Amino acid sequence: MTEFATEHSTPSLAESVRRVVIVGGGLAGLAAASALAARGMAVTVLESRPRLGGRASSIVDRDTGETIDNCQHVAMGCCTSFRHFCDATGCSDLFETQKELYFVGPPGQTKVVRFAASSLPAPLHLASSFLRMPWFTLGEKRQIAFGLRRLTKARLETDRSFQAWLDEQRQSETVQRRFWHLILVSALSESLDRISFHHARKVFVDGFLSCREGWEVSIPTVPLDDVYETRIAAALRKHGADIRVKSGVRRLVMSGGHVVGVELRDGSEVAGDEFVLAVPQYLVKSMLPDELSEHPGVAALDRLETAPIASVHLWYDQPLTELPHATFVDRLSQWMFNRTVLSSVQPPSCRSPLPLGGEVAVSAAGEGGGEQGCRLQVVISAAHDLSGMSEKEVIAKVDAELREVWPDNHEARLLKGRMITEHRAVFSPLPGVDEIRALQQSPIPNLQLAGDWTRTGWPATMEGAVRSGYLAAENILGRCGAAASVVPSDLPSARLFRWLMS
Ligand SMILES: Cc1cc2nc3c(=O)[nH]c(=O)nc-3n(C[C@H](O)[C@H](O)[C@H](O)COP(=O)(O)OP(=O)(O)OC[C@H]3O[C@@H](n4cnc5c(N)ncnc54)[C@H](O)[C@@H]3O)c2cc1C
């Protein structure tokens, strides 16, 4: 087995190490690049695809010529590292913070409830909005309030499924489905039986209970490509970073227990002093030296399971709703984003219909047209259940659900529907998952691992990805004798929340 160098055998790095090679131009890699380039390191980012952003990216729809995102990406107010990253790379103005959410009641009780914070301190700031939800009986509301209080105080030695904990707290099946599942499926993309207690608690505590702003949702007003390609890449280049797309890396090149370079798929090599491997977990092993695959921290990565997320893009010739977004109770559709209203690049009204002859076009079939209709995007997280449905069936079902919720505009014609499914969208936050997530510091001293799947304490989110990049950067700075804290503080908890916790 190869001997990996230890810290003691590492040459003095304080003065000499400046070249950092980052493999992967997703959020984790870009965040590491931003932190290091801003501190004077010579950073090279190697990304295999033609665009940056990784799983948070855009594609061009062939029919409309429109740039659409693989899926709506939103960040909650508690995502402090992500916010810091946006500020640092000058793209915060491309996001709009929503201080109101809209919850749509279950079939048969369709009513839209505006969800916003009152002037009460956390954790009571959202109570009045919650009490207005008519689809919960008084008894169910009491049950939820009891569950939230227990959750706030709960400390579990051994992780377990959140569903098991809810059953123990006697939360009814309806309350589990319409409340706990509703919030968690969007945040963690799994069903309650596949969510760790610790991850569920984090979502509720950080997002909804500990402070007033944690739950607010930041939504991009432009396609994600504009965020990464236009702004972030430009900001990084301004700091001297060398960003290369279409530069797939085949493997790490080792010498004396250290990484000395990376070999690209075209056979060329890029040398460096410090390295960050910021690719998805299922690709890590293939790039490491064989011997390292047997290391327990690396071998465990095979046990990280993943969950799919589907997004359904629907183009109508007229608006179905003027709401910017809405969350649905008890429907296949989970969260609707009105891209026409949310977008800063087109007016909040419909343009001419697509030239598709009145037929509903599914997927990217048909000839290209230049104009776009009103586009709604519907997210279906934990999309395991869709495996039995065709794309056409999912689109028809989502369209029918939207028309049931907003029946006023019968005239609106669905011009085109398209579903994009990311099969390995996020790792599943199963009980005990944190123990198998790798640390950023790999067993090789000058190699950091980064990615939402590394150990950050966060689920698979943009926040988790950025944190991992920042943590990797902190390790490198520490190794180079320039120790600095990069990860910003969490939002402070409200006094009342702290008192209730005690
Ligand atoms: C459909 C969907 C919806 C989501 N919605 C949200 C949301 O609303 N909010 C939220 O916070 N998070 C959301 N997420 C999760 C979020 O997108 C991810 O957590 C985050 O983008 C992961 O970033 P990363 O850098 O860790 O990994 P990735 O984005 O996977 O980046 C890895 C990069 O490495 C590159 N790469 C791979 N192999 C090589 C190689 N050999 N050489 C060079 N480069 C290589 C890849 O091309 C990729 O760009 C969603 C994810 C998906 C898929």
The pLDDT tens digits for 126-180 are 999 999 999 999 999 999 999 999 999 998 888 999 999 999 999 999 999 999 9
Please name the CATH architecture into which domain 58-74+306-427 falls: Alpha-Beta Complex (3.90)
SS3 312: strand
Closest C-alpha to 495, from 178, 137, 122 = 122
Single-letter code of the amino acid located at 188 = L
Distance 35 CA to ligand 1 centre (A): 18
* Dihedral over Cα of 397, 178, 73, 121: its sign: positive
Confidence of residue 70 (pLDDT cuts 50, 70, 90): very high
56 lines ligand 1 (CB under 6 A): yes
279 lines ligand 1 (CB under 6 A): yes
SS3 394: helix
pLDDT greater than 70 at residue 349: no
pLDDT greater than 90 at residue 242: yes
Q: What is the mean pLDDT of residues 380-398?
A: 94
380 lines ligand 1 (CB under 6 A): no
In CATH terms, the fold of domain 7-48+246-304+430-479 is FAD/NAD(P)-binding domain (3.50.50)
CA 448 to CA 4: how far, in whole Å?
14
Report which of residues 353 and 76 the model is more confident about: 76
Distance 424 CA to ligand 1 centre (A): 10
Contact 471, 487 (CB under 8 A): yes
Q: Label the pairing between strands 19-23 and 42-46.
A: parallel
State if pTM tops 0.85.
Answer: yes
Closest C-alpha to 281, from 58, 455, 74 = 455
Closest C-alpha to 252, from 278, 224, 231, 217 = 278
211 lines ligand 1 (CB under 6 A): no
Q: How far is CA 103 from CA 74, 114, 256, in A?
A: 17, 7, 58
The ligand 1 atom at the shortest distance from the C-alpha of residue 287 is: 41
What are the tens digits of pLDDT across the range 403-437? 999 999 889 999 999 999 999 999 999 999 999 99
CA 117 to CA 128: how far, in whole Å?
8
List the chain domain ranges: 7-48+246-304+430-479, 58-74+306-427, 118-214
What are the tens digits of pLDDT across the range 90-113? 999 999 999 999 999 999 998 999
106 lines ligand 1 (CB under 6 A): no
The ligand 1 atom at the shortest distance from the C-alpha of residue 82 is: 11
> Which residue CA neighbors atom 29 of ligand 1 most closely?
54
Q: How far is CA 201 from CA 12, 103, 173, 190, 244, in A?
A: 43, 21, 19, 14, 39
Confidence of residue 335 (pLDDT cuts 50, 70, 90): very high
460 lines ligand 1 (CB under 6 A): yes
Single-letter code of the amino acid located at 390 = S
pLDDT on residue 361:
44
Do 7-48+246-304+430-479 and 58-74+306-427 share a fold? no
Angle at 107 between CA 104 and CA 108, to 5 degrees: 110
What are the tens digits of pLDDT across the range 257-267? 999 999 999 99
> Which residue CA neighbors atom 14 of ligand 1 most closely?
461
Contact 97, 217 (CB under 8 A): yes
> Which residue CA neighbors atom 52 of ligand 1 most closely?
425
pLDDT greater than 90 at residue 42: yes
What are the tens digits of pLDDT across the range 480-490? 999 999 999 99
pLDDT on residue 282:
97
Return the best residue to mutate from 34, 49, 55 for the ligand 1 pocket (most ligand atoms within 8 A of CB): 55
